[in-house]
Structure 1
Amino acid sequence: MNEQSRIVADAARFPLAQLVLSTINPRQHVDEAEVAELAESIWTAGLIQNLAGIETEAGEIEIVAGGRRLRALQFLAARHDDLAATRPELANPPVRIAPDAHTAQAWALAENAARRDLHPADEIRAYGKMAQSGATMPIIARAFAVSEKHVQRRLALAGLPQAVIAALAANEISLGMAAAFTISMDAARSLEVLELCRSRDWSEHQIRKALKPEAVKLSDRRACFVGLEAYQADGGRVSRDLFAEDILLDDPDILDTVFAAALAELAEDHRGEGWKWVEMSFESYVGYYQIEEGKFARLYKQEGALSADQAARFDELAALDEAETLDAATRDELTALQAIREGSYSAAQEAHSGLILYVDPRGAVQICAGLVRKEDKPAAIAAGLLIASQHEREEPPKSPISQKLREDLDRVAQGARQHAVLRDPELLLDLLAFQLSHALHWQKPFGISPGEVPNWPITGAEGYALDPRLAEHPARDMQGRDLAKSFRAFRQKGSEHIRGELTRFLAAQYQGGDAKLAALIEKVTQPRTREIWTPNAANFFSRVSGPYLSQIWRELLDIAEDAPSALAFDRLKKSEKAAQLESLFSDVAMREALGVTEEQASRISNWLPEGMS
């Protein structure tokens, strides 16, 4: 709408009998049913938008904008003989009068070409008022020319505390923020969160978390495993986030209890199958590193053999499966043949090993079987199930991390240990005294030969924020200097300076000692690599393979390998994957956009490449 078409005249009220439809009004033909529905809306909610017209020489007001509303008002006048007495505001509606024909023409065009929608708060109140008067959702939808889904969502908002709707009307919160309040049935808590939201500029996600801080989605792996009915049967409460299309489970403690009970029941079923032991893991994955940490040896199924007929049938079904033309029966047949090919554990293997049950991120039960405990290895070797010459362990898979990158990561980890031990000068001095008074040979805790204990990556140092005392102030070159004079000047700087220099030097020389001593020091100092190093595209993600980046993405966000979002990430270029992962680690807005949960955020904040600590 341009400057010439702005409404400049004040509205005045005119009797309906004085109003006629202008020939320049775009709405010359309107369906009678549509007029009746709009009349019902106006009767319930009032005339929300004024009419606009121009006065003729004969004294009539020709309506140039608002033809549907004029017809609806005339419809009401025909149905209610006492309209002037009962609803005088409808019998004498307000009309803005154009000052000239040019302006009237502009208004007529602007009514449809640049019509401004109702403010969401006004729309919510109007829909709510109609619903309270008995209007059904389809009637409201037709009256306002919107979808029933749109009406459903507005009516959900109509049930919010009036303070929330008022904040929306005042543009203190957005429509999305108002929608976030619909998950709460606690009006008092909603008002508390509204005040917090106003003062802290919260996002929709933060509002939802404040209203239901403990709630988890139905898509949570625990819920997928036990099912909604089992959770509710144990007293678990459910609420629905209409706008996020989510079902929320409000009692995570009950979910944990039901989850643990269901997993324990499943484990009990497996204990009767001949295994030496059966355990549960509440983690979402059990793999190579967990097996190494538990010092398990691994037994594998004895490979089965298909007969000639079975092999031919397997190939036939596999081809059909590739073409996605298998029905349920033939798929079961293919699964049975596949099981024969994969083989099974023998009774002897089961007698010397066990299994760990866990639930993966999709809520599916997974079994890690054929695990031999450390104390059971001698018996398994004696039974011929394990070979001692292989050091009682399986060959580790090839690491996805290159040797050059491994050296950098080791340096980062060493820097983290030095960074931590720097906080305890007394410990450093005690360690120094211990080393100097004992012949520790190559297991000395300090690299005082003197020598360099590397703590700075050769490449990829971006994202590395080591304490400046370890990264700066190199040792002074004393070549050709008067050492006695320099030493006297050094002593005159005072004990605090000398102590600081000694502390810095000892921390930079710290390298651990033997495994037990290093473990003791780390227990005291609690080094945390992520305190000084954050993985980004330059220092890590661009230096590993694309498939490994996809694996990291799925594991951090609990995404199944065949999920659409995982497949979309797989299709990205390696540089795009690296950039996405860098944003996931550093960009709070991206995490909110992805709906990252607290558990996932914690996993991201603590994540380290394999082999780091």
Structure 2
Amino acid sequence: MKFSKAEVDAIIEASPRTFVPFNKLVLSEDHQARSATTPAMSLPELAASIKDSGVLQNLVVVQAARGRYEVCAGGRRLAALTLLVQQGDIADNYPVPVLVVPADKALIASLAENCFHVPMHPADEFAAFARLLAQGKSVEDVAAAFGVTPLIVKRRMKLATVSPRLMALYREGGIGLDCLIVLASVDDHQRQEQAWAGLPSWNQRPEHLRQLLTRGEIESDADPLARYVTVKAYEKAGGPLRRDLFSDDDRKAYLLDPALLERLAADKLGKRAKQLLSEGWKWVDIRPRFAYDEYVKHGELRKPRRAPTSEEAEALKELDTRIAALHEQMDALVDRDGDAGEDVSDADDANDADDANDASRDRAFLALESEADGLEEERKARLEALTEWPVAWMALAGCVLHVGADGRAAIRAGLIRPEDRADLAQAITKAAEQKSAGGGGSEGDADPARGSGLPALQSLPSAAGATARPVHSEKLMRRLTAHRVAAIQAELLDRPEVALAALTTHLTLKLLADPLHGAYRLPNLLAISATGNQHDLRGAAEDIEASPAAQRIEADRIAWIEHLPKEPDAVFDWMLRQPPQTVQRLLTFLVASTVNGITGTDTGRPVNDGLARALGLDMTRWWSATGEAYLQHVSKARVVEVVHAAAGAKVAGPLAELKKDAAVAQAEQLLAGRGWLPDCLRVQPHADAPATGGEEVDANDPARTEAPACA
């Protein structure tokens, strides 16, 4: 039978209301409408509220035997009262307001209380907390009244300060509580609303919202500079910050003045810098955040290691012997794995014995491994003690003092400024001449500066090399080398014999690396993990799709897709039916699609240089130095230098007087048709390179640009 609210109200209206001592109340087993619940407030919170304000809503009871009353609605209030009695906060005869209903109406009354009760919206709770505090109650008083911590009260108050527009959305279900918490972390209503409006509908995640709100702010626990300076020092210096009440870490803060933070870091680093200068370094630069681009032109010395004394050598030898012995014992334990239990006939006993032996061997292995690791650390420390900077080197070099990724002071030492390279080379030459005149050194000594206290010249970039090196940013280098990779891929499409050789070489270095000394250290010629790198090319050079090389590759890709079966399971059978030439051309295309070589630096030999030489790569067929492709991305001085190299000083001179845009436009015209290439796009001949064995291919042969010969 379904009861209307009016009928239920009539039952309640006809029932008497009174007070019953707590010790006369028992929980009803027969008249409870709800056996389990998900409370909006925990039991301690409810108990604290009753202690502060009393029982505001009566319990529904029925009269039972021996003067007792069974509670059929209000079980949680009864449990909270029980907790207060147990804690001694109220007497066991505490008067509890009740509504006494007939036994045959008890279940209906219990059902009515649960069905017709409208729970408070969380937004109303936030506002109520704020009103209590506005009435003069302290945070601690409100916390005690509701049995929660002061932090929870502060958080609910903070939620009440969210923009009214956003709070209305929250009431309507348009914003989740997790996002409302993030919005409440800042006080500016306009900033809250802008952040929410800027959040795409498909990505309304609290993590993304937090990124929008904290843009430009520095997280105290994540930023190395903030960890190095410390929030305490930043605050002491008057730095503005914002704390997030909803963070689990109450020490976390968002720093709002990056300039002040960097100044404080530099001041703190300054003390260490003075110490470094007193040690004999020629110069010390303080950089709170190390920028590699600032020092890309600097040479860098390697910290030398002196020869150990006889005692030090003996100690190192002893460590090596002990470490080797431990590794032999560990290998022996591994070899013995599975031998235990062979002499036990009973199967259960054998399994138990195997388990015991396995556990014993594991413990022994871990103990040996731990001891070996400790000896390795000791050996590393002893070797580190043998390295030191010679005074003569320090007088010519300097170091950069900065904050490392771990939030500690870090030193990059042994750097040579470009203007000091000539002096260094002169000093090395003079030292070598003095040594030669004095007849010092052994006959086989290959280092002319050994014993002079100066570094060998070949350990540094030469002064001439420093002035001739093009100034290319990492982004531009990636852009240029992406075009080089695309060009190699396009060239490779017509050279299956080279593709086969490249693939075989790659697999040889991967699968037969043990007898090939140093093979593991070689960079990958191909991305042979069956992942094409067209996405990488587009990411490195946004203009790649318009290049002739990329268009050639894309045309072949589309042609192959049209010829391949549509179902993956049918590809192998289809492959078996094709003539060898078709499979070879498809393999060539796939190998070409994996060529590697995008890099952000222009030092060292390109990984694909050998492949480029084998193909006879001519980058002028695939790339030209236009404004968009190159000239706009380098300095005006570099533009003048390029035109000087390609067309001569007389033509390049007037460009120096023009503004950058005008110089680029004129330089593009002057370079047109001249075939100038930056060094990173040129293919240098290799004196030791063997002949490729492939026949010459005419660059103008129409067959080089035909579609794949698919059957």
Q: TM-score, normalised by structure 1?
A: 0.49
Larger radius of gyration: 2
